[in-house]
């Protein structure tokens, strides 16, 4: 088992701090949990605690961006996108300033904190904003590279990180690129397009189905916006159906973005695995993934259903 992507984010910030003197980090009094404490330890003069005041956090980040810094604003996903949405809209995206919003503890795998803290609508909220780039890394290496890529590009970026450890998917040869999906496994029967923690589940499901002579193509879609239209259309043309898998509501997230591309360019059947328009509840991450059918078994069943 690899690292949690929030830990990868903290590690990447330290490396960025050494490489770029204009990188600053802001946090909402959660630096131990978001792992920005690592940056604070190394670069205390470039770390700013806004306190439990997420709207101020985003406004401060916009201010830093406007005078030439590259600010990373960090807090839990439910607070970053919910409590601070209007500031993100009007002070960051509307003027298109160079702020990176790094939200940790996203999805239902926050676990025992319960539905009030499980952000399952954050991707949808960020997708709705013009000028926003939305990235959901699948593992440690991709999270490291995505953080650095966000620092290199100009404009608002939403980086979604998790609380739990992820399985290692990529090796040291992997090269992350914003806006590009990656085919992890070839297949001609069904395509599974997954993001975040569900990528490992998709690969596991594909391995199980291979034993039953069902050929599944697996695509890691780490950039939700702008989405890789080319790889989606290719899959729609070459396989019988597409299944999307995300640790997020099926409303407004990966499934919705893929469906929009397919409807526009190459109509085919799309089935969505995700949270079905309900709130989360308290439980261990594994219990919640089972309850909301965010499992390899759920993907296997959807694949088989799509072939009937």
Find the CATH number of the domain harbouring 242.
Answer: 3.40.50.920
Are 190 and 239 within 8 A, CB to CB? yes
In the chain, the number of structural domains is: 2
- Same domain, yes or no, for 110 and 155? yes
User: Which listed residue (7, 19, 21, 54) is catalytic?
Assistant: 54
172 within domain boundaries: no
**How far lies 115's CA from each of 3, 21, 110, 166, 288, in Å?**
24, 39, 9, 21, 11
Looking at the structure, tell me whether residues 149 and 231 fall in a common domain: no
Is residue 144 located within the same domain as residue 15?
yes
pTM metric for this prediction: 0.96
Same domain, 200 and 153: no
Residues in the chain: 308
11 and 155 part of one domain: yes
Calculate ∠ Cα 22-28-30, nearest 5°.
105
169 is a domain residue: no
Instruction: Please report whether residue 175 resides in a domain.
Output: no
Averaged pLDDT, 82-89: 97
Residues 36 and 98 in one domain: yes
Q: What is the pLDDT of residues 169-187, one digit of tens each?
A: 999 999 999 999 999 999 9
Q: Are residues 45 and 189 in the same domain?
A: no
247 belongs to the catalytic site: no
Considering the domain architecture, whether residues 154 and 190 belong to the same structural domain is answered as no
User: In the structure, what pLDDT confidence band is assigned to residue 13 with cuts at 50, 70 and 90?
Assistant: very high
Gap between the Cα atoms of 155 and 153, Å rounded: 7
Residue 14, domain member (yes or no): yes
What percent of the chain shows pLDDT beyond 90? Answer: 95
Domain limits at 221?
Answer: 182-307
pLDDT tens digits, one per residue of 197-207: 999 999 999 99
């Amino acid at each position: 088992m690899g690292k949690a992507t929030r830990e990868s984010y903290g590690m990447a910030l330290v490396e960025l701090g050494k490489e770029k003197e204009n990188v600053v980090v802001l946090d909402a009094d959660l630096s131990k949990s978001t792992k920005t404490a690592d940056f604070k330890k190394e670069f205390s003069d470039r770390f700013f605690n806004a306190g439990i005041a997420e709207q101020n956090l985003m406004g401060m980040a916009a201010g830093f961006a406007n005078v030439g810094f590259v600010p990373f604003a960090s807090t839990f996903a439910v607070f970053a996108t919910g409590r601070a949405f209007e500031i993100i809209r009007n002070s960051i995206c509307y003027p298109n300033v160079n702020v990176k919003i790094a939200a940790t503890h996203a999805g239902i795998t926050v676990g025992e904190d319960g539905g009030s803290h499980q952000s399952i609508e954050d991707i949808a909220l960020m997708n709705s904003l013009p000028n926003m780039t939305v990235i959901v890394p699948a593992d440690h290496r991709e999270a490291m590279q995505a953080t650095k890529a966000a620092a290199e590009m100009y404009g608002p970026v939403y980086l979604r990180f998790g609380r739990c450890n992820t399985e290692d998917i990529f090796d040291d040869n992997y090269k992350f690129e914003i806006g590009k999906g990656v085919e992890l496994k070839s297949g001609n029967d069904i395509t599974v397009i997954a993001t975040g923690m569900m990528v490992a589940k998709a690969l596991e499901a594909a391995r199980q189905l291979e034993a039953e002579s069902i050929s599944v193509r697996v695509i890691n879609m780490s950039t939700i916006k702008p989405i890789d239209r080319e790889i989606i259309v290719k899959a729609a043309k070459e396989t019988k159906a597409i299944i999307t898998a995300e640790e997020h509501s099926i409303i407004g997230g990966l499934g919705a973005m893929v469906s929009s591309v397919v409807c526009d360019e190459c109509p085919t059947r799309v089935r969505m695995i995700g949270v079905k328009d309900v709130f989360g509840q308290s439980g261990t991450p594994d219990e919640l993934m089972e309850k909301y059918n965010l499992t390899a078994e759920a993907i296997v069943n959807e694949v088989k259903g799509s072939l009937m």
